[in-house]
Amino acid sequence: MTTFFDPRTKQKRAFALDALRGLSILLMVFSGVIPFGVLPDWMYHAQVPPPNHVFNPSLPGITWVDLVFPFFLFTMGAAIPLALTRRIEKGVPFWKLSLSSLERGVLLAAFALFVMQIRPYQISDTPTPLVWLAGLAGFLLLIPMMARLPEKWDSWLKYLVRGSGWAGAVVFMVLVRFRDGSGFSLYRSDIIILVLSNMAVFTAFFWLATRKSMLLRLGILALLLASRVSSTDPGWTNWLWLSKPVPWLFQFHFLKYLFITVPGTIVGDMILGWMNTSEAKEDQAGAWRTPRLVVTAALMILFDVVLVIGLKNRLVWETTLAAAGLCIIGWQLIMNPRNSTERFLADLFRWGTFYLLLGLLFEPFEGGIKKDPSSLSYYFVTSGLAIFTLIALTIAIDILKKRRGFMFLIESGQNPMVAYCGVQNLIPPILGLTHLDQLLQSITPTPWLGALRGAFVTFLVALGASIFTKRKIFLRT
């Protein structure tokens, strides 16, 4: 029997999903702190290769860096059924769920604006101790602004703390001046978080409208797919996809990422059903032994390696054949599931196979798979790979009981915004104020030593997120 209870939050948690979210956020952190322009091209986004990192939208292919954002989007979609179903079971009405989803999107949009205003390297190319302190102060303001406040606090105290945080943020953004001499602007925001804010709202509404009908969910997604395909030619759908009703907040083309978050909601529903049945006492013992499970987990990771290497090197038909062969092997490994966990993994694998093959069939379309401008192939291939990676983590964490070895990933995944901000506004200010940044630079002068330095900084970010999680300081976004 699998145990999902988290003693810190007093709730059930899908730890493998937390780990996948943590993996994506820490890889995102690592990709942002490795040396610029001096490592092999597979260490950067495929469309901005070294040494000059000039954006080339006609360059097809993906690298591991191109997987981290869609993996995070996928986990956001998968988490929505888990969070909203819990509230539905408590009797929260539909209108309140919709309002809270909209509130979450607004908070994320505010977060996207604020974090861009407080980053030390946005304020100065060569931060002084005062700039480092300002960046650290900005990070600390996020706690009263967005942290989950203790339920035992009186309402007036919560309003006082929350109001003080937001007032401090407004003062900060009014007073700060950036390296180009400008001040606050609605158009200076973190695009990744802004996309997440839109997806938080639209994916939640999408799931709420279709949660009782998988056919309806897939049908609406098919209509969205049709409009996306037709948008490549002149016409009203092209105009619609290019429209920007509120440029600093919502652009219609953001909805393309529903092709990742909606598959995530399908997996979220599956996770919820598995969590409810696998804890039942009448659930049978599994038929899959440890060697088979280890091979299955390794195969899931091999999908990531093969697809990234093959598509990056434009071995498209060879990669497609290799992926089909791996799917056949995987199909043999998932045969004859006996209990709820094995049936869950088998169903996950079937969905992952579907999305991966769908993405590979779309690969020649739009000039090949690309992250930016993102292609249809990109959405579905990365969704399939996210599912396979989730299978590997589920086997390691929930079946083989190796949760302790993945705690940094799990805790970072439970507190992703702390990790996301920590790489700009927590770890660099601490290193800068103590002059440890200069020491690290001096002992890691070569490109690959610089990558090792980036790995160390990423470890410090994970450590910081872990400490915040252990102390139950969670940013509400």
pLDDT (tens digit, 9 = 90+) per residue, 218-233?
A: 999 999 999 999 998 8
Phi-psi region of 227 (alpha: psi -120 to 50; beta: other; left: phi over 0): alpha
Share of the chain above pLDDT 90, in %: 88
Query: pLDDT at residue 95 above 70?
Result: yes
Query: pLDDT at residue 5 above 60?
Result: no
Phi first, then psi: give them for residue 448, nearest 5 degrees. -75, -30
According to the model, what pLDDT value does residue 317 have? Answer: 95
> What is the rounded distance in angstroms from the CA atom of residue 392 to the CA atom of residue 407?
15
pLDDT greater at residue 3 or residue 305: 305
Angle between helices 376-394 and 340-361 (to 10 degrees): 160
CA atoms within 13 A on the CB side of 474: 15
Task: Determine the average pLDDT of the residues in 66-91.
Answer: 95
Query: Do 131 and 176 form a contact (C-beta atoms < 8 A)?
Result: no
User: End-to-end CA distance of the chain, in Å?
Assistant: 32
According to the model, what pLDDT value does residue 170 have? Answer: 95
β partners of residue 475: 147
477 located within any domain: no
* Tens-digit pLDDT profile for residues 169-206: 999 999 999 998 899 999 999 999 999 999 999 999 99
Which residue carries 């409208």 as its tokens?
209
Domain range enclosing 163: 5-470
Query: pLDDT at residue 6 above 80?
Result: no
Query: pLDDT at residue 9 above 80?
Result: no
Phi first, then psi: give them for residue 112, nearest 5 degrees. -60, -40
According to the model, what pLDDT value does residue 37 have? Answer: 86
Contacts of 164 (CB under 8 A, 6+ apart): 144
According to the model, what pLDDT value does residue 287 have? Answer: 78
Task: Determine the average pLDDT of the residues in 75-81.
Answer: 97
* Tens-digit pLDDT profile for residues 37-64: 899 999 999 999 998 899 999 999 999 9
According to the model, what pLDDT value does residue 338 have? Answer: 86
Query: pLDDT at residue 151 above 90?
Result: no
According to the model, what pLDDT value does residue 410 have? Answer: 96
Query: pLDDT at residue 213 above 60?
Result: yes
475 located within any domain: no
Task: Determine the average pLDDT of the residues in 234-262.
Answer: 95
Query: pLDDT at residue 14 above 70?
Result: yes
Quote the tokens at residue 83: 């969070």
Short-list 349, 199, 193, 312, CA closest to 260 = 199
Give 22's DSSP letter. Answer: H
* Tens-digit pLDDT profile for residues 420-462: 999 999 999 999 999 999 999 999 999 999 999 999 999 999 9
Query: pLDDT at residue 341 above 60?
Result: yes
Phi first, then psi: give them for residue 246, nearest 5 degrees. -135, 85
β partners of residue 246: 250
Query: Do 345 and 393 form a contact (C-beta atoms < 8 A)?
Result: no
According to the model, what pLDDT value does residue 12 have? Answer: 74
Number of structural domains the chain divides into: 1
Query: Do 375 and 361 form a contact (C-beta atoms < 8 A)?
Result: no
According to the model, what pLDDT value does residue 194 have? Answer: 96
Angle between helices 94-118 and 65-89 (to 10 degrees): 140
Predicted confidence band of residue 276 (pLDDT cuts 50, 70, 90): confident
> What is the rounded distance in angstroms from the CA atom of residue 466 to the CA atom of residue 473?
10
> What is the rounded distance in angstroms from the CA atom of residue 15 to the CA atom of residue 3?
10
Measured from the Cβ of residue 235, the count of other Cβ atoms closer than 10 Å reads 10
Quote the tokens at residue 274: 């598995």
Query: pLDDT at residue 391 above 90?
Result: yes
Query: pLDDT at residue 10 above 60?
Result: no
Task: Determine the average pLDDT of the residues in 358-362.
Answer: 97
Task: Determine the average pLDDT of the residues in 348-375.
Answer: 96
Predicted confidence band of residue 253 (pLDDT cuts 50, 70, 90): very high
Query: Do 60 and 250 form a contact (C-beta atoms < 8 A)?
Result: no
Quote the tokens at residue 325: 């062969």
Predicted confidence band of residue 1 (pLDDT cuts 50, 70, 90): low
Q: Strand locations in 269-425, DSSP E? A: none
Task: Determine the average pLDDT of the residues in 146-170.
Answer: 93
Quote the tokens at residue 280: 């039942």
Q: Which amino acid is at 435?
A: H
476 located within any domain: no
Residue 150, preceding peptide bond in cis (omega within 30° of 0) = no
331 located within any domain: yes
> What is the rounded distance in angstroms from the CA atom of residue 451 to the CA atom of residue 457?
10
According to the model, what pLDDT value does residue 11 have? Answer: 66
**Element spanning 205, H or E:** helix 191-210
* Tens-digit pLDDT profile for residues 282-322: 566 667 899 999 999 999 999 999 999 999 999 999 999 99
According to the model, what pLDDT value does residue 277 have? Answer: 83
461 located within any domain: yes
